[in-house]
């Protein structure tokens, strides 16, 4: 007899994460039982509160397991009885990393730790959240949009440690499944900049891009980026989890064409009314950004991106999985509206 979604448990790693929480919401809305990992069970109340902001109060349909990507402890319990795993927990830019190894080792070892546990628990498929950084870095200017056949060129000097970690950890995942997977299926999603409604003050680094504009940053580097709404990204995770054709495939998650940051600022200025009054539409000259990077290590990773068109195509996900993301403009404005609604902008935070 075929199982229905209410009989299926899905593990979502890193339950405090922005993408993970929207994946949990999507799964709960479809009737699945969800288990999620957190580094400490003291975070359960926070996660449940943020899911409530997203409209879900799952009760015992959501369970928690303490597990850290740096240790084997907890992963057997986390994967036991799960049909699928959505794995996106990974190091992100925090400013605390001091060497490439601080980025690469936990990303690679974390992926392998989850994949081993999933294989041993006889999980059917793992959906891995990689990044566009595993695709776009280190290339000469492209005349076509990036697609899923592209991999970041790690021989280039212009590869940020974060992008290198994403590239090596994704490659390690594919190699593991090919050599040691014993039938474990893998699908990989490579999202561009992820925006959309935040659920609380703990959100991803990509949201800071929008918040910085609304908070009145001095201007915008000449940087180009694709955007995708986190709700559509969660939908793509579910499609990659369940669609037969998704096994063994990568999918770029992007809505429409990429945008220059100055155009994002213009959009916010036009659409956000009083909340957009601090937004600067000024384009910062490259020399000024390079000068700022001498003092601010967080800016250094953006230097190789100056003036580069990073357009990509999400056509594969649309044609193969029937994915249909909302327009990029709607995703960006929804991000800003949620920051206003939750009082997370500088003006409201200081009140």
171-175 LR contacts (CB < 8 Å, sep 24+): 172/108, 172/111, 172/112, 173/111, 173/112, 173/115, 173/126, 173/128, 173/130
> Of these residues, 52, 143, 166, 269, which one is catalytic?
166
What does the longest C-alpha to C-alpha distance in the chain come to? Answer: 65
| Closest residue by Cα to residue 310 from 216, 221, 214 | 221
CA 27 – CA 33 distance, rounded (Å) = 8
Provide the CA 122 distance to its chain's centre, in angstroms: 26
| Closest residue by Cα to residue 190 from 13, 35, 19, 68 | 19
CA 57 – CA 284 distance, rounded (Å) = 44
Crossing angle of the two packed helices 230-242 and 18-29, in degrees rounded to 10: 60
316 is catalytic: no
Active-site positions read 166
């Amino acid at each position: 007899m075929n199982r229905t979604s209410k009989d299926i448990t899905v593990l979502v790693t890193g339950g405090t994460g922005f993408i993970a929480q929207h994946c949990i919401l999507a799964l709960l809305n479809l009737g699945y039982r969800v288990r999620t990992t957190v580094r400490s069970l003291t975070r359960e109340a926070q996660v449940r509160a943020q899911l409530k902001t997203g409209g879900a109060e799952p009760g015992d349909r959501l369970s928690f397991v303490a597990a850290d990507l740096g240790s084997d402890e907890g992963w057997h319990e986390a994967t036991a009885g799960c049909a699928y795993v959505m794995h996106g927990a990974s190091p992100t830019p925090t400013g605390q990393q001091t060497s490439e190894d601080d980025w690469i080792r936990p990303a690679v070892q974390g992926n392998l730790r989850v994949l081993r546990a999933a294989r041993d628990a006889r999980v059917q498929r793992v959906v891995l959240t990689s990044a566009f950084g595993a695709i776009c870095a280190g290339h000469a200017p492209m005349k076509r949009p990036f697609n899923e056949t592209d991999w970041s060129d790690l021989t280039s000097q212009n590869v940020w440690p974060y992008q290198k970690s994403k590239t090596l950890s994704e490659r390690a995942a594919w190699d593991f499944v090919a050599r040691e997977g014993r039938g474990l299926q893998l699908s990989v999603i490579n999202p561009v900049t992820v925006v959309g409604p935040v659920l609380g003050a703990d959100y991803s680094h990509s949201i800071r891009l929008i918040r910085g504009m609304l908070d009145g940053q001095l201007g915008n580097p000449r940087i180009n980026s694709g955007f995708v709404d986190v709700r559509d990204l969660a939908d793509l995770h579910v499609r990659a989890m369940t669609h037969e054709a998704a096994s063994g495939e990568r999918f770029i998650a992007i809505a429409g064409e990429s945008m220059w940051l100055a155009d994002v600022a213009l959009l916010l200025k036009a659409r956000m009314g009083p909340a957009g009054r601090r937004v600067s539409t000024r384009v910062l000259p490259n020399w000024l950004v390079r000068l700022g990077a001498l003092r601010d290590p967080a800016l250094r990773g953006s230097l190789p991106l100056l003036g580069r068109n990073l357009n990509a195509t999400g056509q594969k996900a649309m044609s193969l999985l029937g994915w249909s993301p909302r327009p990029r403009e709607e995703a960006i404005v929804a991000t800003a509206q949620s920051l206003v609604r939750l009082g997370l902008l500088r003006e409201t935070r200081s009140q």
